[in-house]
A = this chain, B = another copy of it.
Amino acid sequence: MNSNNEPIQPDDNSTKTTRRRGEVLENALLQAAWDELNELGYNEMSMDGVAARAQTNKNALYRRWSSKSELVIAAIIKYVPRPVMQAPDTGNLRDDVLTFLLQITDTIQLVGAETVFGILADHGDRAIVSSLADFKEKVQDDSLNVIMRDILQHAVERGEVKPDAIRERIVSLPFDLIRYEFLIKQQMLTTETVTEIIDYIFLPLVLSVRH
């Protein structure tokens, strides 16, 4: 359209004047990445697409994140709120566990299974990079088990549960099953599913301790 290089008009677009930098630009990039991720999914989104949505170009991205997976991980870290990492205190084991599991399932579902697979597939080969640790903390977090143990400890103190050693595997069981449901079976995590796991699997195992 415009045969010479100089801008003809000051461009009616009023925001055009400023060139974003630093944190402002970074936020715009992460926002664009998060939006593209949610609209297109991990595989369909592209670095060019993210850059275009942020009204800039790929360089701005690659100056900050070394790859697509790193970018997406950064966006997830920014936009998925950290769950409350604290044992609830409802006064009984069942409600403590239920409350905590439901909190976490809400968080987990903010990132799709396809995204997790995409990241794992892309990251699979390479050496573990900076933010992957952070990412795993979200998806595959051991600190969840710490809270679970707190919850059980409270139940022991209340006399609900015998202080016998409870197997690590049983402690992690609820979240293992929830992640399985979400990632492998790729099903929505409903309250029904969570209560079924608690009432028919977790509580029977924890309450009927045999040594």
Which A residues have a C-beta under 8 Å from some C-beta of B? 41-44, 114, 117-118, 120-121, 124-125, 140, 167, 169-170, 173, 176-177, 179-180, 183-185, 196-197, 200-201, 204-205, 208, 210
Distance from A99 Cβ to chain B, minimum over Cβ atoms (Å): 21
Known: A173-B201, A196-B169. A41 touches B125 (CB 8 A): yes
Cα-based distance from A183 to B183 in the complex (angstroms): 10
Listed A/B pairs (15) with beta-carbon separation below 8 Å: A41-B124, A43-B124, A44-B125, A114-B121, A117-B124, A118-B121, A140-B184, A169-B197, A170-B200, A170-B201, A176-B177, A176-B180, A177-B177, A177-B180, A205-B205
Query: What B residues does A200 contact at CB under 8 A?
Result: 167, 169-170, 205
Complex contacts, A124 vs chain B, CB 8 Å: 41, 43, 114, 117
Q: Which residues of B contact A183 (CB under 8 A)?
A: 183-184
Q: A183-B184, A184-B184 are in contact. List 6 more A-B contacts (CB 8 A).
A: A44-B125, A117-B121, A169-B201, A177-B180, A179-B180, A201-B205
Give the CA-CA distance A180 to B179 in the complex, in Å: 8
Across the interface, which residues of B come within 8 angstroms of A180, CB to CB?
176-177, 179-180, 184
How far is it, in angstroms, between the C-alpha of A184 and the C-alpha of B108 when the chains are bound? 14
